[in-house]
Amino acid sequence: MTNRKVCIVGVGKIAHDQHVPAIDKSPDWELAATVSRAGSVEGIPIFRDFDVMLEERPDIEMVSLCMPPMARYQYARKALLAGRHVMMEKPPGQTLAEVQALVGMAKEKGVALFATWHSRMGKGVAGAKAALAGKEVTRGQITWKEDVRQWHPGQEWVFEPGGMGVFDPGINALSILTEILPEPVHVTRAELDFPEGRYTAIAARIEFSRGVSMDLDWLQKGDPSWDIEVETAEGTRVVLKFGGNELWVDGEKMPGAEIEEYPALYARMAELVDQRAIDVDLSPMTHVADAMTLGKRLTVEPFSF
């Protein structure tokens, strides 16, 4: 069977590191074109104008949006109105309302829409969810720290309005938390560190209901810390390390699932296209929005790449 054709829109670091290799491995998809102002993929036709691609390539039924979130709504809207299926990198947009509007368009056009949360595909996430099922959470600690200069080198957009700052990686942790907890939590308090002259935070401390807290830092040198610990009234202790890819339950390391994050996302997208279905969970973004609403803003020393 001939694979379905996909166009990557926004050919930057995440596209080269994750999306292109995942499509190459996929039994469902073939990379047929790209749209980018500057980037390209060797051997793949490139368009500089998204409208031209939509007009000239009716054979491409799905677009995978990999650009920063500030521009995502406009591209997703054009694709949906053209009857194309849409897959969106995280976060799916810069506001909740614009993503909700896209859901309405996808329903009206009868096409698939997928807001991806790649960290939910971590090898230990499903096991952590199973270990916590039916239990009462009494404490949780998220520690998500990395070096922005390593993971977003020179990418000034992360500090622009809509760029989310330290919540760009932090939302990965929130996508895992909202997947594994047996009951939802909500933000109760937050402190956000904004570098002088910047529009988004570089560090944050957040408190949630049910004794859950979160520590985000984008200035950690060396190896990143991508860890989640959860304790329950029943005595269960679940620890996820390495961004959800290593699971420990009550001090015992558990076997990981045979899964790769981005190939799993493209497999899920194929299912959604078959069903003409929508998979858009906005709970991680809701936590970010609530932290922004409740957060005490603190000004810290200037930051430059």
Q: Annotated catalytic sites, by residue? A: 90
Q: Encoding tokens for residue 134?
A: 């039916």
Running DSSP on this structure, what letter comes out for residue 157? G
Q: Using alpha carbons only, what angle is made at residue 175 by residues 10 and 292, rounded to the nearest 5 degrees?
A: 85
CA torsion angle 192 196 197 201 (round to 10): -20
238 closest CA partner among 124, 86, 146: 124
Q: What angle do CA 12, 96, 211 make, to 5 degrees?
A: 100
Long-range contacts of 103-107, Cβ-Cβ distance < 8 Å, separation of 24 or more: 103/278, 103/280, 105/77, 105/80, 105/81, 106/80, 106/278, 107/278
Q: What is the C-alpha R_g of the chain?
A: 19
Q: How far apart are CA 236 and CA 128, in angstroms?
A: 11
Q: How far apart are CA 165 and CA 107, in angstroms?
A: 31
Residues 147 and 223: their CA atoms lie apart, in Å, by 8
